[in-house]
Amino acid sequence: MMVRPSSSFLLVGLLWLCCWGAMARAGAEYMAYKDPKQPLNRRIKDLMGRMTLEEKIGQMTQLDRANVTAEIMRDFSLGSVLSGGGSVPREQASPQDWINMFNEFQKGALSSRLGIPMIYGIDAVHGHNNVYKATIFPHNVGLGATRDPELVKKIGAATALEVRATGINYAFAPCIAVCRDPRWGRCYESYSEDPAVVIQMTDVILGLQGEIPAGSRKGVPYVGGKDKVAACAKHFVGDGGTTRGINENNTVIDRHGLLSIHMPAYYHSIIKGVSTIMVSYSSLNGEKMHANHELVTRFLKDTLKFRGFVISDWQGIDKINYPLHSNYPEAVLAGVQAGIDMVMVPFNHTEFIGIVTDHVNNKRIPMSRIDDAVRRILKVKFVMGLFENPLADESFVDKLGSQAHRDLAREAVRKSLVLLKNGENAHTPVLPLPKKTKRILVAGTHANNLGYQCGGWSLTWQGVSGNNYTAGTTILSAITAAVDPSTEIVFSENPEADFLKSNNFSYAIVVVGEQPYAETKGDSLNLTIAEPGPQTITNVCGAVKCVVVVVSGRPVVIEPYVSSMDALVAAWLPGTEGQGVTDVLFGDYGFSGKLPRTWFKTVDQLPMNVGDAHYDPLFPFDFGLTTDSVEQL
């Protein structure tokens, strides 16, 4: 059968169209931003060129996990999810529970039109502290007492592994505030009153993110592999200097003071490749930091050359105006124009996205500001390798709460303890204590309370009381394990005088301190030890040779009781590994910690920091008695 010419032309035409369509589709499928062989800037430029305004604003939005679904991630191309303090998939959630949740949200993000992966943030501020059975390290004030940057770097690396064990890839840490007044409820999140100590401790970033390769450009975000996380230096800037230590309040300081006290650790964090910086709730000389264009854009981005992204604090933009969330469109405009790139909304994404869209459409926010924000966010995501490895790596699951990390935490505890008194003079030291003796009294509210040991930001935002919330070792349990089997240990939380007289104790260990708190709930004008702590000290130390261990997030009022104590130890908030306390009490290791903060006599002296004209402390900054390790038979 002959084919008519017209039919031949038609057939050839159809074949050509099919081939052309296939080639066109093949060409369209190549997207430079998905090609890891392409240079970073080309990938960013290619992706941004494909994005709509709505997708760009979506990338600037961060929601709490309780308000997110995979469909929301897909439909709004959201850039990030977070777990606020205590926001967990379920009580006592396993690493697999976290991974399943993370992957669900990530798959939602990947199913959006352009498939941009999300970044998931969490407050892993002293270990992966929201997570059941994670290793909880000493809070920053204790780490500042170690004066050991290498130790802190190891803690950063261990924390990164435990965070990755749950699939998460972004830690809101470290806090590099310079706490100048212990009445501040976040003082334990500060390494020291001295900016030089805080600068040392920024080495934690090298642990969290990895060491920047030799020859790399300084100041560029760096995350070195699947076992590392993006870090976040916070809270920019001056949060530790507020008047009377009131959280989120106003820091009154001149330019020289700002640059010499509160700013240096940010410069060093940027040099070490920190990926993100969080803005402070506080004000500086009356201007809200979340609306401070001069410092966020002109100084941080333009002068210090920070190339990562700037993130708000939880509802930080809502707090620009009072009361909370009032004049919200105006606050959003001020915050975004100040230079905030990602906004921790964290509840209502549609309202925020709608407002930013309206501001752009009406030329109140220029596209250049949106593009700057998105470029920075995408840079961090590309540097992290999220486009190549967006889902959780389940090979890290066994790192959560591992023995190696608990051993590291124990080392950190013993190096963080500061010995403030050891007998009446150097010739009659009380410590180290003998392990083999007749009978030891262990007393105090904090001796057998793992939650109190850990403090705030532990399992929940405000912390917990008791031993049933996570895995760890109380100080009482550590004492029991450390002493000779023939030594009798008697525990009485608040013993009465008759009990003390009738039991013929060799010595007593009294463990008292502050109850857990976080942020504003920790603001305190009196800084007293929680009751019945003072009564326990008075009763026990009046009847028995006593060592007092203070578990607190900051110096507290102890001057009235010191004369009755035979020895005094500042244990800060040591976390889950109580054996670190007994390691030095019984002389397996010597005391080496130095005060990271001035210990005042009375709160009337505050604020008082080393170098002040009125400096008259009970124990000065950098004070700490030392002991040698001993071998006990």
What is the rounded radius of gyration, in angstroms, for the C-alpha atoms of the chain?
28
Which pairing describes strands 567-572 and 418-422: parallel, antiparallel, or unpaired? antiparallel
DSSP code for 494: S
Instruction: Say how far apart CA 275 and CA 80 lie, in whole Å.
Output: 14
**211 in catalytic set:** no
The pair of structure tokens assigned to 468 is 């049933």
Q: Who's near 608: CB < 8 A, 6+ residues apart?
A: 598, 600, 614, 615, 616, 617
CB 295 within 8 Å of CB 329? no
* Under 8 Å between Cβ of 389 and 106: no
Cross-strand partners of 119:
80
Exactly one of 181, 189, 411, 519 is catalytic; name it. Answer: 519
Cis, bond preceding 237 (omega within 30 deg of 0): yes
Active site residue 313: yes
**Which residues is 122 bridged to in the sheet?**
83, 171
Length of the chain in terms of residues written: 633
Q: Are the C-beta atoms of residues 113 and 55 closer than 8 Å to each other? A: yes
597 with 621: CB under 8 angstroms?
yes
Q: Say which DSSP state 607 is in.
A: S
C-alpha to C-alpha distances, 577 to 364, 395, 426, 594, 613, nearest whole angstrom? 53, 25, 30, 20, 39
Q: Which of 55, 148, 181, 313 is catalytic?
A: 313
Instruction: Single out the residue of 50, 51, 55, 49 nearest to residue 353, CA to CA.
Output: 55
Per DSSP bridges, beta strands 61-64 and 343-344 are parallel
DSSP string, 346-382: -S-HHHHHHHHHHHHHTTSS-HHHHHHHHHHHHHHHH
Q: Indicate which residues carry an active-site annotation.
A: 313, 519
